[in-house]
Amino acid sequence: MKQPELGKKISEIRNSKGLTQEALVEKCNISVRTIQRIENGEVTPRSYTVKAIMEALEYDLNQGKPDENNVDILKQLRKFVLVDIDPEKPSTFLINQLNLAWVFGIGYFLLGFFEGIADYYRFDEGSMLINRELYIVLKVVVFVTYLFFLRGFILIGGLFKNDLLKVIPIILILCLGLIFSYDITTLYYPKIEYEFVFISFSITFGILGIMFGYALMTLQKPLGNLTQYAGVLEILMGVCLLTVILSPLALFLSIPIELFEVLLIFRTIRLIKSKQESSGIAE
């Protein structure tokens, strides 16, 4: 809610509760002069000032609707980055979900080393480094961390109206789920042809990796050159997977790629927060 409607609303609520401006000051610890200027529509208070006043008045300004401060922030962000951002998603929601994504991204990055060693012993050395039950648990946990990590890019794709970035991570998640299901199935039915499945998934992930890299590169305007580094490496990794024979090189490329992608999520969070800070108008 903007001025002067906000000031009128506060004055209306205060009067309906039989409170003077002085009585409201005692409840929210904001100066009388500030209350007067807000109610008169002379200043636009910061979000935390409005929150303090509304809490003192025991009134929910949102009434189940999206936080208008956050909606306004995303509208300003849309103008700032010159792309279409959905203003119906509160920025606090996005920040919380993106924070969750980078945390799971770090988890996926670290677990990838353990998974790689376990797969090396199983498929190249012909022996199990850990028992079958622990191997299954490892695969499930890696898949969950991957899911929440890529969910961050689905949200970023929605934020910047990038349809390709919204769709490709979903397909990648589904493909990884299939290959992990295959890995677990072969624990019980080892006769399943490994080479054919490996080639099929290598080509599939190669194509998806190239598309994902391109999608990241289209975000250069809002998120900077970091998207180019991550995008180019993703495309290189995709090319390596497409050749199949160079797929081991793709494993090494995945290390900097995952770190760049975690940083991209951080960059998005920082961009949203910077607009939150710049949108605040002093009392």
pTM over 0.75? The answer is no
Residue 62, pLDDT score: 57
Taking a C-beta distance cutoff of 8 angstroms, is the pair 229, 58 a contact? no
On the question of a cis peptide bond just before residue 4, with omega within 30 degrees of 0, the verdict is yes
Sequential pLDDT tens for the chain (283 residues) = 677 888 888 888 888 888 888 888 888 878 888 888 888 888 888 777 888 888 888 887 655 444 444 444 444 444 444 333 444 445 677 888 999 999 999 999 999 999 989 888 887 777 888 888 999 999 999 999 999 999 999 999 988 888 899 999 999 999 999 988 988 888 888 666 767 778 888 999 999 999 999 999 999 888 889 999 999 999 999 999 999 899 889 989 999 999 999 999 999 998 888 766 655 433 3
Q: Which amino acid is at 219?
A: L
Q: What is the pLDDT of residue 77?
A: 46
Question: Is residue 117 helix, strand or coil?
Answer: helix
Give the span between the Cα atoms of 55 and 100, in whole angstroms. 29
Structure tokens at 170: 């979903």
CB atoms within 10 A of CB 238: 22
Where are the domains positioned within the chain? 5-61, 91-273
Residues 283, 32: Cα–Cα separation, whole Å: 12
pLDDT at 277: 63
Q: Give counts: helices (H), strands (E), the chain.
A: 12, 0
User: How much is the pLDDT for 206?
Assistant: 94
Q: Provide the percentage of residues in the chain whose pLDDT is more than 90.
A: 39
| CA 270, 272, 274, 277 torsion-angle sign | negative
Cβ-proximal residues to 12 (8 Å cutoff; 6+ apart), any chain = none
pLDDT tens digits for range 122-138? 877 778 888 889 999 99
Whether domain 5-61 has CATH 1.10.260.40: the reply is yes
> Which region holds residue 116: left if phi is over 0, alpha if psi is between -120 and 50, else beta?
alpha
Q: How far apart are CA 32 and CA 229, in angstroms?
A: 53
* Residue at token pair 């495309």: 235
